[in-house]
Amino acid sequence: MSAGLRVLFCDNHLLVVAKPAGMPAVPDASGDESLLDRAREWVRIEFAKPGAVFLGVVHRLDRPVSGVVVFARTSKSAARLAPQWRARTACKIYWGVCGAIPSAPAGACEQWLVKDRDANRVRIAPAGSADSKHAVTRWRVLEQRAGRALVELVPKTGRPHQLRVCAASLGAPLVGDLKYGAREPLDDASIALHARSVEFDHPTRGERMTFDAPVPDHRVWDFALCRESR
């Protein structure tokens, strides 16, 4: 941890960090400090970089979501990493806390989603309908406690809010996710969704790499598996 940034890995080509919930991944209309801003400042100080620091945005997380984020430290790395996310050869695993117990221990959500950009909200639409995007999420319950479930969510597509909609469609919306059916907010305005791990090929060496981000230190994540991950 340095300058408020939790660095999971850094070399000449990559910077992998843990994003805190509530921070925008990139600058937005709020004007609040973004993860990209903080990561650039960390690189500038750590490596005594004069002038502007380059960091390529490979992927993003919604503001209320925490977890692992990968930046490219060179344009060459960015050009080699981005296709892995587009082709879905980069594997991402999320953990979420549902406010109810899903009726089955595991399954898949296959849905057609339409985004309302004005409301920044997604709805389920009939298969193949206009403007809809196909979304597939595999999920399983990892642990249960006090009427809540710790679930693993593995997106097979990259649609906006697809994990949040999947949880809601199970009748078990993510804790704190008022937009998709949670009954009350969390005290830090986060939602209980965490990008737990990412796996991809190194942009120059080609070796497969996996990085895990510890879950937030918040009582909503009070599960045995979460405590072990910190």
Q: Which residues are catalytic?
A: 62
**Maximal CA-CA distance, the chain:** 56
Cα–Cα distance measured from residue 57 to residue 34, given in angstroms and rounded to the nearest whole number: 12
> Which amino acid does the sequence have at 87?
A
Provide the token pair at 209: 């790499």
Cα separations in angstroms, 203 against 16, 29, 61, 80, 125: 13, 32, 21, 6, 37
- What is the residue whose two structure tokens read 């050009």? 79
Q: Quote the CA–CA distance of 115 and 127 in Å, as a whole number.
A: 14
The CA-based angle 98-140-218, given to 5 degrees, is: 40
DSSP state letter for 179: G
